[in-house]
């Protein structure tokens, strides 16, 4: 069974997180550990029709953002990696500088120090030099940066088609077989 940590921050793009959670929830061999920032919860209200309880039901274990004693805050909690989707630039900076001031940042810090998979789905545009330097710093220590950039070779017709492509890329990065979207032929 794969254990995947999903962090959701306050950047716009909560639909990416929801889609990933829904697709992971359908898999019997994946255990999802979820932590959301306060602003992620606010964006859930602003950007979607989902309730917090609906999102929490998509995870096997839900943690409070300030629970520094949570299992996912320790390197001894064995897992297959973490994805932060969407990742705010505040969270990116916090992780890049090793400031584990909340559970998302601490769990990401643990992923880095334990050399486990860390996927960042940044949601900001335009990117400043500071943003780019922080993302580069994370990439240098092994984080995989997977920004939501649509592919048009599959001729997407809906927003869901675009979201599916992003989810496919994240699932691929975790080595989870999927046919969420069309692949380049």
Asked if residue 182 has pLDDT above 90, the reply is no
- 180 confidence band (pLDDT: 50, 70, 90): confident
Least confident of 19-23, 113-117, 178-182: 178-182
* Separation of CA 23 from chain center: 13
Answer whether 0.95 is exceeded by the pTM. Answer: yes
- Quick: pLDDT tens for 30-59: 999 999 999 999 999 999 999 999 999 999
Contact at 8 Å (CB) between 107 and 72? yes
pLDDT given at position 117: 98
- 150 φψ region: left (φ > 0), alpha (ψ -120 to 50), beta (else): beta
pLDDT given at position 45: 97
Contact at 8 Å (CB) between 107 and 82? yes
- 184 confidence band (pLDDT: 50, 70, 90): confident
Q: Please compute the mean of the pLDDT values over residues 132-161 and round it to a whole number.
A: 96
Count of beta carbons in the 10 Å neighbourhood of residue 69: 9
Contact at 8 Å (CB) between 120 and 84? yes
Q: Please compute the mean of the pLDDT values over residues 162-184 and round it to a whole number.
A: 92
Is residue 62 classed exposed, middle or buried when 0-12, 13-18 and 19+ CB atoms within 10 A define those classes?
Answer: middle
- Quick: pLDDT tens for 54-100: 999 999 999 999 999 999 999 999 999 999 999 999 999 999 999 99
pLDDT given at position 170: 97
Instruction: Return the bridge partners of 62, or none.
Output: 34
Q: Which CATH class is domain 2-173?
A: alpha beta
Contact at 8 Å (CB) between 63 and 34? yes
DSSP state of 38: H
- Which distant-in-sequence residues (6+ apart) come within 8 Å of 46 by Cβ? none
Residue 99 structure tokens: 């400031």
Alpha-carbon span 109 to 99, nearest angstrom: 8
């Amino acid at each position: 069974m794969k254990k995947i940590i999903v962090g959701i921050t306050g950047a716009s793009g909560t639909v990416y997180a929801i889609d990933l959670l829904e697709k992971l929830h359908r898999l019997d061999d994946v255990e999802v550990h979820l932590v959301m920032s306060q602003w992620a919860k606010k964006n859930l209200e602003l950007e979607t029709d989902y309730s917090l309880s609906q999102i929490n039901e998509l995870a096997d274990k839900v943690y409070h953002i300030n629970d520094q004693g949570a299992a996912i805050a320790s390197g001894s909690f064995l897992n297959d990696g973490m994805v932060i989707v969407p990742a705010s630039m505040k969270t990116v900076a916090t992780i890049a500088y090793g400031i584990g001031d909340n559970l998302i940042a601490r769990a990401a810090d643990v992923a880095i120090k334990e050399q486990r998979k860390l996927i960042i789905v940044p949601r900001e545009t335009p990117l400043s030099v500071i943003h780019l330097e922080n993302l580069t710093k994370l990439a240098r220590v092994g984080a995989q940066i997977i920004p939501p950039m649509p592919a048009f070779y599959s001729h997407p017709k809906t927003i869901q088609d675009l979201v599916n492509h992003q989810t496919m890329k994240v699932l691929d990065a975790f080595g989870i077989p999927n046919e969420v979207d069309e692949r380049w032929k």
